[in-house]
Amino acid sequence: MIRLLTGISMVFFAAVAQAETIYARVEGMTCASCAQTIEAKLLTHCAVQSVKVDVAKDQVIVVEKPAKHLSDMKFDKLIREAGYSAKSITRRPL
Ligand SMILES: [Cu+2]
């Protein structure tokens, strides 16, 4: 029973606390000002550690803070609120 509980808590910890890097394709960016707008918008979220925007590649990369999570849905919402459109979101553990 103890072993089972330990296993469950480890899975729970991994699911909740593992910060990830989010890679997204974002459409509608045309200049450095677009990049700044998106960066500023994403940084308003408490789970966002850092943001990198590559306008030429239509790419936005977000590093989550340790033990924090920015959901795909919330990411998509923030991008839309900034006036752009997220087309694909992938994640990798840090
Ligand atoms: Cu622009």
Report whether pLDDT(10) > 80.
no
Sheet holding 85-93, edge to edge: 48-54, 59-64, 20-27, 85-93
Residue 69 Cα to ligand 1 midpoint, Å, equals 28
Report whether pLDDT(5) > 50.
no
Task: Give pTM, 2 decimals.
Answer: 0.81
Domains of the chain, CATH where assigned: 18-93 (3.30.70.100)
17-35 mean pLDDT? 95
Report whether pLDDT(7) > 90.
no
Residue 93 Cα to ligand 1 midpoint, Å, equals 30
Q: Are 72 and 4 in contact (CB under 8 A)?
A: no
Distance separating alpha carbons of residues 23 and 71, to the nearest angstrom: 12
SS3 content of the chain, % helix, strand, coil (to 5): 40, 30, 25
Q: Which position has the higher pLDDT, 18 or 25?
A: 25
Residue 28 Cα to ligand 1 midpoint, Å, equals 8
pLDDT confidence bin for 18, thresholds 50/70/90: confident
Q: What is the pLDDT of residues 41-62, one digit of tens each?
A: 999 999 999 999 999 999 999 9
Buried b (16+ CB within 10 A) or exposed e, 20-56: bbbebebeebeeeebbebbbebbeebebbeebebebe
Residue 13 Cα to ligand 1 midpoint, Å, equals 39
Residue 42 Cα to ligand 1 midpoint, Å, equals 16
pLDDT confidence bin for 94, thresholds 50/70/90: confident
